[in-house]
Amino acid sequence: MKIGDKRAVVAMAVALGGAGIIAGALFGGGKPATAQPAPVADSSCAKLAALALDRTEIISARIQQAGTSIDGAVNPGLPGMPGGTVSGLPEFCRVIGHIHPEAGSDIGFEVWLPTDGWDGRPSGAEVHMNVPFPGSPSPLPVVLNVTVPTLTVFRPAAGKATGAAVIVCPGGGFQGLAIGHEGAYVAKWLADRGVTAFVLKYRVRVESGFRLPTDVRRHPEQFGDQERFMDPARKLAVADGIQAIRYLRANAGVYGIAPDRIGIMGFSAGALTTMGVIMDTAPADRPNFGAPIYGSMEDKAPPKDGPPLFIAAAQDDPTVPPAKSLAVFSAWTAAGLPAELHIFETGGHGFGLLKQGKATDNWPIVFEAWLKAHHWATSADAAPARN
């Protein structure tokens, strides 16, 4: 990685909620994981979700060669994880157990997401790394250079699924993805409440000209400048989000979900992606509900059949003005569309599902109440936020 690119990654790391301390991880002090190969394209990867796997068993299979299905595939395991044998796995898919060990997740199925205008060949390798994050006792996982969009599936325990599904879009300024506390952790939280969750790993890459706003409360123009810079990348992410909706509706029976109970939520850049999917698509591809968390929307009227929204932000967010969340709520209200807004006094930017001893620790509680009020979620024994 060139020095200029590293500087851009530092800015991206701040977009994930970090600060200057992350620079050490990017310039040699961090622990980048081995780059992951991309799954070979084939829509029948969805059949993985129908496999009867024991959720308590740790399974990690990476079978990448194109070809026919195989039985009794030998699983070498990941570092620190046992190997094993998995039956009936197509060779072009991946099943990942504990995709991020910190998430405490059970089984995540990662499937390739077909995308219009892309031939399935990756350009460069993904970079997986753990970076320090204020408010977290341990480094958090980040993914850079995503060229192959995927969905990673987190399913509820047997007999607990409500039939609802949520696509989770991590943030990262469209430079990378905070795949843990804004992705896998949130997906596991949803699965514990009966919602089948799909983490969308949309396409991102580091841009050398990326500059993150640092004090939008006093300089709101900074955010407008950054929005314009990020718009080409935002449109790419929105295209992946729309394709995710189409894919899930077409394969709803495979995943045990209802095609009219599919929502989308996102954080920061993922929230911009969420609103783009809601605003910039045909009614047939529109989600049934949405949750933009510390995000914004385009300056245009919402669709006439816009879905219910849950909106949350922190008043002290230095990166995305909380007024942007208020604007989303006001636009929905003016259009006579259902929306719920929560602006918490403290929490900053990038809080995700972290528990920091701040007001935003409580957003999952009110989000769960909102999901239950709409009959998308059930009760869960799991804690509402991660320490």
Q: Please, what is the average pLDDT of the chain?
A: 73
Does 347 score more than 60 pLDDT? yes
Token representation of residue 64: 């990448």
pLDDT for position 258? 96
Percent of the chain whose pLDDT exceeds 90: 47
For domain 3-34+94-373, the CATH superfamily is Alpha/Beta hydrolase fold, catalytic domain (3.40.50.1820)
pLDDT in tens, 267-288: 999 999 999 999 999 999 999 9
pLDDT for position 221? 75
State the average pLDDT over residues 41-50: 36
Does 57 score more than 70 pLDDT? no
Q: Which of 31-40, 42-51, 304-313, 322-331 has the lowest mean pLDDT?
A: 31-40
Q: Which of 69-83, 87-101, 310-324 has the lowest mean pLDDT?
A: 69-83
pTM value? 0.74
State the average pLDDT over residues 32-52: 34
Higher pLDDT, 160 or 124: 160
